Structure 1
Amino acid sequence: MPPHPESNPHFGIPQNQEQHFQSPITPRNQDQHNQPSGGPLPRTKKPKRQDRRNQPLGAWAMLPDQGQQIQSPDPRVPQGDHHPRPHSPHEPKPRHQDHHSPPHVLLPPPPHTTLKTRCFAGFWACFWTVIVLIGLVILVIYLITRPHKPQFDVSNVTLNAAYLATDVLLHADLTMQVKFTNPNRNAKVDFRSMVIDLYYGNTLITSQNVEPFSLPRAIYSLRVVNIVTSTQVQLPEPDMERLKKQLSYNSVEFEIKGVIRSRVTRGSILRYSYRQHVDCTFTVNGPPSGALTAKYCKIKG
């Protein structure tokens, strides 16, 4: 029986067959020695590189061409464009299925205006144009004339008498010198009415009317107004005690309130009416001299 060849204990391969697994690559200098001496070997041509620019890459190679239809793996589903696949809930809806887009509504053409409507609109346009022009003319005239309100002032007051009858009833006699002024240089002022009320504290003592008069432009006039209580006036107890103290101190305080109605006239067309409220507080000495010592006047309107 022939002897069994020895085997490699690591790989289980016979020893005489190990030479077949040695590397056939020889060193570079060894190949040069094995070349024939006749000259260098001819160069071998490299295979041409394939042009893959027009070839699809990766998963795109599995997609069909544009002209080729995708066949459904399920034969029960009909093929063709008449049965599109259902939309996924994550895909946007087609534009024609958007229910929020407003429908196209055809508006009717505007109605034609009639001759009556045009005449009516033209009349109102002319009317408002005239109104605006009249307003502008009045504004220009007002700015040119620039009327000023008449002025009123108490220039002097004399207390002729003031006493308490039976320690309850007041009797007073005052003479006032009132100054009326017309500050307008191009218009006159007509003082149509004036009422002056005399107060002591909150009690009305008497009232006096001033006769109407007129003032030319840029001039003033002094009017004397005599105020006398026709009847004795009963004062409240606090006012009565205060009047006794003021008479003893030789300083009595009165107050007058009045309403003045006037009209500023320039020519025969321009007229401006005013209503002014006068409130003056003044202090006089005790009678019989009763000279004016202090005053404060304000006019509203």
Structure 2
Amino acid sequence: MSGDPAGHVARPTIVPDSETPPRTQVRRFLRAADGVAVDALYEPGAAGRTHRDPTGDPVAAGKGGTARASGTDVPTGAAAPRPVFVIAHGFTGDLDRPHVRRIAQAFGQYGAVVTFSFRGHGASGGRSTVGDREVLDLAAAVAWARGLGHARVVTVGFSMGGSVVLRHAALYGPEGGGARGRAAEHTDAVVSVSAPARWYYRGTAPMRRLHWLVMRPEGRLVGRYGFRTRIHHRAWDPVPLSPVEAAARITPVPLLIVHGDQDAYFPLDHPRMLAAAAGDHGELWVEPGMGHAENAAPGPLLHRIARWAVARAG
């Protein structure tokens, strides 16, 4: 499996340019820069700019104003159109899984949502490289979201997806061409949930099981037939940019790192390393009682994340 950095900034195929985002769901296969087909779904989210979140606080004010939603200032009005959230799921997930649909439904109350299945997952083509070439899949999804007419994009990743959104933000900066004079694949804010800080970590029992699943032929058979995940048999060569190295390169894009203090996969030294690398442009939330990734993220946390993203993606 080829690595980065230079080899992973190739542009995906051209997407249609639109000034008005669709008002209905759109599902299609995207094409990653290396030719892999990526199953993706666009959802316009809740209609209108004014809505009420589960806390009871309005999340939109007057034209061009600022609403305060549970402690987060949220720009509103014509000067701050609602963003599109591009969701990067964890290993063995896909866009049709119930836990991914739950995430999409929560974020859909604050903007449009793009969900997609990483290569080797669900209906997408190819085989999983467990976070390496998946950065191309995310780049294709972000470019598609911008091509549908969205000027503000937030990438939100969980576990493996959390490492992918970090590397994507480091490799696809806002400079360059594309729609409105900016690189079409760049993101305006990044949220990384339950992500590792370094590769090849085997310090917990779940991670030792995951390494067996990925690196052993019999494990890959279990992945294919037990988890509907097709895993590539080749090792990384070269090893891709690590999440902690990526976190240091994201500035000035706002970064939120979220991690549960009961995460059975990655202990708290991982998010703390990421936050230290991010410096002043990063923010760390350690969530009491939370476990790992999508299944463990409670509804109120998802709404807090969405409000943070809306406030900072402008």
After TM superposition, the score normalised by the length of structure 1 is 0.21
- In proportion to residue count, which structure has more strand? 1
Q: Tell me which structure has the larger Cα radius of gyration.
A: 1
What is the TM-score of this pair, normalised by structure 2?
A: 0.20
Between Structure 1 and Structure 2, which shows a larger proportion of helix residues? 2
Higher relative contact order (CA 8 A, sep 6+): 2
